[in-house]
Amino acid sequence: MAEIVLKNINKRWGTFIGVKDFDLTIADREFLVLLGPSGCGKTTTMRMIAGLEDPTEGDILIDGKRVNDMEPKDRDIAMVFQSYGLYPNMNVYENIRFPLKVRKVPEAEHKERVMRASAMVELDEFLHRKPAALSGGQRQRVALARAIVREPNVFLMDEPLSNLDAKLRVSTRAQIKNLSHELKVTMIYVTHDQIEAMTLADRVVVMEKGIVQQVGTPTEIYDNPANTFVASFIGNPAMNLIEGEIRDGVFSAPNITVSRLSAADGKVTLGFRAEDAAMTDGDGEVSAPVYSMELLGDATMVTVRSGSSLMAIKAGKEYRSEIGAQVKASVPASICHLFDTASGARL
């Protein structure tokens, strides 16, 4: 059992605010992802949970026990970092075994626990190798196994995939997802990669400048972003965001007019997802010249311009057009999101 409660956590260095008013309960066995750009406070939050940073204000509770003054080694937490942190003079077996030696676990248990952790991340054939003879993906798996062997209540992972190439990132991501299912422990995972967040998380915390912007399941955050920051950060491509004006339920901006919107007259930002819109041969809410065409294999991404903004629209893989050609797209009111232009908040 490892429920983690963060109560009104603040972290400041002088006048600089790293994390502000962070309140959250992380359920036992939940996979929580802290997501945001560099410098948003996600790693600082994780380091406070681990005990590597002290909160300026607020309480951190693990299983109902306040741990603010508890040493990191006493919090029953294992961390996996972006840098693998392996001992170059030890082989894989000894690297995985090291936490057991430090914690004075009876030696009779070592082999069984190391082999179990190694099997979970498919390292059995590399146990005799030194880290220098391993690929980046294999080294990251050694770091994972070294955390697993401790059998902690909580796993903290700080951008563990960012040093891997794209293909390895996909396979290691699947491995981490499977591990969370197998180990049945609480996992907190830090990343700036929204695809990792969407594929791994039970819940996502989106952060910017030390402030929580939205907390929810990947589906909730994708379908109902709380503001333009979340809308622009989640999704590949990000949600189209067009500044314009509403008059009598009709939104107008260069090259786009959408009717039947229920919002007060005035300036608004209209958002829609590329996959929700559709290219059309007939009438459409968008009429604009093609800015670029990208063939994605399973689809074609058509980009057109609205004033200074670009709009991406996903078409079928067989769709073809020329740059500069006038095209039309359907953007019905039912797929649109409206945001306050000044504050960015969802209307």
Reading the chain (347 residues) residue by residue, the pLDDT tens digits are 689 999 999 999 999 999 999 999 999 999 999 999 999 999 999 999 999 999 999 999 999 999 999 999 899 999 988 788 899 999 999 999 999 998 899 999 999 999 999 999 889 999 999 999 998 889 989 999 999 999 899 999 999 888 888 888 888 898 899 989 989 999 999 999 999 999 999 999 999 999 999 999 999 999 999 999 999 999 989 999 999 999 999 999 999 999 999 999 999 999 999 999 999 998 999 999 999 999 999 999 999 999 999 999 999 999 999 999 999 999 999 999 999 999 999 99
203 and 6 Cβ atoms separated by less than 8 Å: no
Q: In 10 A of CB 3, how many CB atoms? A: 17
246 and 234 Cβ atoms separated by less than 8 Å: no
Kind of pairing between the strands at 266-272 and 299-306: unpaired
Which residues in 4-74 belong to E strands, given as ranges? 4-13, 16-26, 31-35, 57-62, 65-66
For tokens 């200074």, the residue is: 308
Model confidence, pTM:
0.91
DSSP 295-331: E-SSEEEEEEEETTEEEEEEEETT----TT-EEEEE-
- Residues with Cβ within 8 Å of 317's Cβ and at least 6 positions away in sequence, in order, are 295, 296, 297, 298, 299, 300
Kind of pairing between the strands at 154-158 and 186-191: parallel
Question: What span, in angstroms and rounded, lies between the C-alpha atoms of 283 and 273?
Answer: 19
What is the rounded radius of gyration, in angstroms, for the C-alpha atoms of the chain? Answer: 24
Q: Domains (ranges, CATH) in the chain?
A: 4-232 (3.40.50.300), 238-340 (2.40.50.140)
pLDDT of 1 = 64
120 and 112 Cβ atoms separated by less than 8 Å: no
pLDDT of 11 = 97
C-alpha distances (whole Å) from 76 to each of 1, 2, 45, 51, 148 are 11, 9, 17, 11, 12
200 and 206 Cβ atoms separated by less than 8 Å: no
pLDDT of 2 = 86
